[in-house]
Every structure is written in C-alpha cells, then in structure tokens.
Structure 1
C-alpha cells in the first residue's frame, strides 16, 4: 500500500459541503483508505485571480492504485461531483490533486509528482506539516516543516 496526499479545493457553491462530499466520495467509491484530514483553510485564488476565494484541505490516504490510476480516479470523482473545466485555473466546485505519492518523483504529460506548486503555496505546506511533522520533500530531501519556517522568515 502506498501513502499519498491529496489536495482538495473548492470556490463555487457550498465550498465546505463540496470538500466533505469529495472526502465521502473517495472513501466510499474508490480503492483508498482515508487516514487523516487536515483542517480547512480559506485562501485567495492563485494564477487566475478574478474568481472567488477557495477553501482548501489535504487528506492523507493509503491506496493500491498506481499514480496514473489514482489520477484517473480523482478526475472521475471531480466529474461526478459536478466539476466543469470551462476556464483553465478558473472557478471550480471541486479540485482534487495528487500532491505526494510515497517518495516517488515522476513527470509525465498528465502527471507530475510531487505536485510542482507545493513549494509556492504556503497553505499546502502548512497542511502537509499539520498531517505529518516529519514529512520530507522527495525532491529536496528537506522537511516540509523547515519550508514553513522559510515562508515565515
């Protein structure tokens, strides 16, 4: 079984309910076990700024699915939960991203692990540290906790 960290975000509709539905959906329909959930943080949009604020959360899961299959499972769940991709990086009812998958480093046309924006998003680092104080970035070998300290410096 692999351990993965999945980022959840929502900025349309009942954002908190959307996050809860996504966690329930993954727990009930998919070959994953939810180990832990972070708190929920409200953040401003990134990249495409003309949109509502987001609620963000991370879940720590265990799964037998290899990364490409986990990605397909998350994309299917997004569609089932009403996600429509009309504007790239635009408003969405739910966004599910693989942030980390064990200590794997990979890059394909469809999937990059670790997620390339982790280091640029303080709230992602904060949630990862909340879930595991000793979690290490497989790319840098640095603890995410130290990265949070860097963001605050």
Structure 2
C-alpha cells in the first residue's frame, strides 16, 4: 500500500518505563492501517529543555507515510499519548509520552491547533539530531538541520547522547 504524505515525528518520554512507553506508542502507530513507519532513529538520552526541573528524556524520531491530513494525524497522535497515560498538567513538564509532528511533506501551516514545521524544532537538538539520522540526502530541510545542529552544539546548553540503534521489523531498511 502506498501512503501519500511523508511526515517526520519527534517522540520523547521521561516518566515511568521510558522505553516501554515509546514501544507502546510505536506498536499503536504500526497497528494503524493509515500509517507506515518508514525509518526510526536510534534512542537518545537528552536533558530537558525549559524552566521545569525534571528527569532526562529518551527521544527519537520517525519518518512515516500516511494518508491522514495533518489535523487527522494530530488527533491520532493525541489518542496514542492518552493511551500511554499522558497527562497535560505542566507546560513543558514531565510526560510519559510526547509525539510531535515536525515536518509534513513541505507544508507550511499555522492554525489554532497546529503549526508545521513545528515552531520549536530548530531550537532543539533532541528533535534535529534524530531527524538528521533518518532523513535522506534529498530532504528539503537537510542543510538547514545540519547548520542548526552545528550552531546548537557550539552553544553547549543542550545535551544529547546516542543510546542504541533501533533494529526491528517495524521499519523498512534504509535505501542505499
């Protein structure tokens, strides 16, 4: 089945069993017939960004194909967050699961519920590093991502550590 929209999603968890939270979300995404996971980054341990003191995160990124519209996909992601016990109590606070649409095709969108590209993406190593890992050489934001990663690493205010490769049957193999 060919799904038309190419989407990059950032994911993270810093409450409970972090890997189990992420794996549950990945299983729910995989079970949806309108979503195909194309690529998954390694897991990264990252320090939280923002004013709330909290535990480190495990973050990563997915490249998916989908026939959902951006708003439909946002609803699905929020349903998955809820199924993984996400509670929205503190802005930028601890969470069992966070799923964000970063890029959706080459769409630029600003609505009351959704902004694409994600407005914080180019400020966060935990978003950019995993996406750079899984995007192709022809990805329209690749050069901008590489440039911004270099700038953020020079700043040295964010930490990111690669934990492990992801090698399972949910994702297709990268094209050579």
| TM > 0.5 fold call | yes
- CA shift, 1:117, in A, is 0.8
Q: Deviation at 1:133?
A: 4.6
Query: Which residue number in structure 1 is paired with residue 74 of structure 2?
Result: 71
5+ long unaligned stretches in structure 1? none
Contact 1:30/1:73 (8 A) holds in 2: no
1:54, 1:152 → 2: CA distance? 18
Q: Is contact 1:125–1:148 with CA below 8 Å preserved after alignment?
A: yes
Matches of residues 3-152 of structure 1 in structure 2 within 5 Å?
A: 3-29=6-32, 31-134=34-137, 135-137=139-141, 142-152=143-153
Gaps in structure 2 of 5+ consecutive residues: 155-176
The CA RMSD over aligned residues, in Å, is: 1.6
Residue 118 of structure 1 and its aligned partner are, at CA, apart by 1.0
Pick 1 or 2: higher relative contact order, CA cutoff 8 A, min separation 6: 2
Shift of 1:61: 0.2
- Contact 2:123–2:152 (CA under 8 A) maintained in structure 1: no
Q: Any runs of at least 4 consecutive aligned residues in structure 1 with deviations exceeding 2 A, and if so which?
A: 133-137, 145-153
Encode CA deviations 1:53-92: one digit per residue, 9 max, x unaligned: 1110101000000100000010011111111112121111
Mapped partners of 2:152, 2:131: distance in 1: 14
Alpha-carbon distance between aligned partners in 1 of 2:124 and 2:140, rounded to the nearest angstrom: 16
| 1-structure distance, mates of 2:23, 2:55 | 19
Q: CA, structure 1 residues 30+78, in 2 after alignment: closer, same or farther (shift >3 Å)?
A: farther
TM-score, reference length from structure 2: 0.79
Residues 73-121 of structure 1, C-alpha deviations (whole Å, 9 max, x = no match):
1001111111111212111100110010000001011100000111111
